[in-house]
Amino acid sequence: IEKVSHRMKLIRTDKAYQGEFSDMVENYYKWKMEIAQKPPTVKGFVPQKGRWQVERSFAWLNNFRRLSKDYERLPESSVAFIQVAFISILLK
């Protein structure tokens, strides 16, 4: 987290991450938490702003067999393979 903390400014979350977790992130890391809220007048499903971008990225990662299971012993190895996968996606 320390390596990317200077670049990260905003975290978009849903209502599950409000409260104590949100307070800790804002106080300790000084990141702004944007918690998605559904308008009170709307009934049913409402897509959250920016959520499709995250879901699309996870879907793209499912195309890489190495990332489908937890083959790595160290978290650093997993992070490296995720970075390689996204580099491959960006180069296409």
SS3 percent helix, strand, coil of the chain, rounded to 5, is: 50, 10, 45
Question: Over 80: is that where the pLDDT of 84 sits?
Answer: yes
**Cut 0.85: pTM above it:** no
Summarised one tens digit per residue, pLDDT across range 15-29 is: 888 888 888 888 888
pLDDT score, position 1:
62
- Domain identity same for 43 and 61: no
- Domain identity same for 25 and 56: no
Question: Over 80: is that where the pLDDT of 68 sits?
Answer: no
**Which residue has 């905003």 as its token pair?**
10
- Domain identity same for 42 and 58: no
Question: Over 70: is that where the pLDDT of 2 sits?
Answer: no
Structural domain harbouring 6:
1-48
